[in-house]
């Protein structure tokens, strides 16, 4: 499998995206469960299928571009408002980057590492052993350190922020039971991680939001940086979760055709020992 991924990493991005678009439609048409969840999540946000139709192909492109991002050269990246990052880092505090399941979220940390320097990201290790080994090696690149969602990983995030470094999180990933709070997301309660608020409260880190938009024709990515209004998430878990979801909604509405509508955002949290 690793050999296959390395081979796919040599493909040009337009070819990978064309293959991925077809893959996305195959998955949408072949899986009734995935299709129902995709349509239900979009409808919950007020979007008819016609408005989010591009997201079907976008989900496939997300899968197809992974070998290139993990093992190949980073495609061209342009930035919108990168000075927000520079301003936050100039203050001498740590920086927390929140990136939703939208666009090429895998490329966001790579693009940050290439332009601004070291970043530590939190990821959930795959359950399959063969995939776990592949992903763990692939997500550690120059200036990019990936830590797992366990106690050791969270401690590493705290150390990084307290030292003035940068940490990246997927704030709309459903956390385990006990590590989140129920808060509205497009009008329906979703179990939302509170880790971001706890990290800010314990380290005084600044917060920015980022989304990486795929450009047409496989031309690369456009990373949008958005400042967090005020000093950061609220202290109360429910209020902080509601604020995070509201910010994500704004990003999604800016480009609904690249949001991962098929993600099981409203599922019940799994039960395991919280970090």
CB 205 within 8 A of CB 161: yes
The secondary structure of the chain in percent helix, strand, coil, rounded to multiples of 5, reads 50, 20, 30
Tokens of 139: 């997500």
Q: Indicate the average pLDDT of the chain.
A: 92
Tell me how many degrees the CA angle 183-185-189 measures, rounded to the nearest 5.
45
d(CA 79, CA 82): 6
pLDDT confidence of residue 114 = 95
pLDDT band at residue 64 using 50, 70 and 90 as cut-offs: very high
d(CA 50, CA 257): 10
DSSP letter for 141, please: B
pLDDT confidence of residue 42 = 98
Mean pLDDT, residues 99-112 taken together: 96
Q: Determine if residue 99 is left, alpha or beta; phi over 0 gives left, psi from -120 to 50 gives alpha, anything else beta.
A: beta
DSSP letter for 102, please: B
d(CA 114, CA 69): 12
CB-based contacts of 28, cutoff 8 Å, min separation 6 = 34, 35, 38, 56, 59, 262
Tokens of 108: 């966001």
Tens of pLDDT along 3-38? 888 899 999 999 999 999 999 999 999 999 999 999
Mean pLDDT, residues 70-97 taken together: 93
Backbone phi, psi, residue 144, to 5°: -125, 120
Residue 136 has pLDDT above 70, yes or no: no
pLDDT confidence of residue 213 = 98
Tens of pLDDT along 210-223? 999 999 999 999 99
Residue 139 has pLDDT above 70, yes or no: no
Pick from 34-38, 74-78, 124-128, 178-182: least confident: 124-128
The reported pTM is: 0.92
Mean pLDDT, residues 135-154 taken together: 81
- Residue (of 119, 106, 122) closest to 223 by Cα position: 106
Bigger pLDDT: 146 or 56?
56
Using a 10 angstrom Cβ sphere, with 0-12 exposed, 13-18 middle and 19 or more buried, the burial of residue 241 is buried
């Amino acid at each position: 499998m690793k050999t296959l991924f390395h081979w796919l990493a040599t493909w040009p991005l337009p070819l990978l995206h064309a293959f991925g678009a077809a893959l996305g439609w195959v998955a949408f048409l072949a899986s009734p469960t995935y299709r129902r969840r995709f349509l239900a999540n979009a409808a919950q946000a007020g979007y008819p299928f016609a408005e989010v139709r591009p997201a079907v192909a976008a989900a496939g492109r997300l899968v197809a571009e992974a070998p290139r991002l993990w093992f190949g050269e980073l495609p061209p990246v342009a930035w919108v408002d990168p000075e927000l990052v520079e301003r936050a880092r100039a203050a001498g505090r740590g920086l927390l980057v929140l990136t939703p399941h939208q666009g090429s979220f895998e490329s966001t940390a790579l693009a940050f590492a290439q332009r601004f320097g070291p970043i530590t990201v939190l990821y959930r290790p795959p359950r399959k052993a063969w995939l776990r080994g592949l992903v763990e090696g692939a997500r550690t690149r120059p200036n990019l350190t990936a830590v797992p969602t366990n106690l050791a990983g969270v401690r590493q995030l705290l150390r990084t922020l307290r030292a003035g470094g940068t940490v990246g999180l997927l704030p709309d990933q459903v956390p385990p039971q006990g590590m989140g709070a129920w808060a509205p997301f497009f009008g329906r309660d979703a179990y939302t991680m509170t880790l971001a608020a706890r990290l800010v409260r314990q380290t005084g880190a600044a917060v920015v939001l980022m989304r990486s938009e795929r450009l047409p024709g496989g031309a690369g990515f456009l990373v949008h940086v958005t400042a967090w209004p005020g000093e950061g998430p609220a202290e109360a878990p429910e209020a902080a979760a509601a604020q995070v979801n509201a910010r994500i909604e704004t990003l999604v509405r800016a480009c609904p055709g690249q949001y991962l509508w098929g993600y099981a955002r409203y599922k019940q949290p799994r039960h395991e020992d919280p970090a």
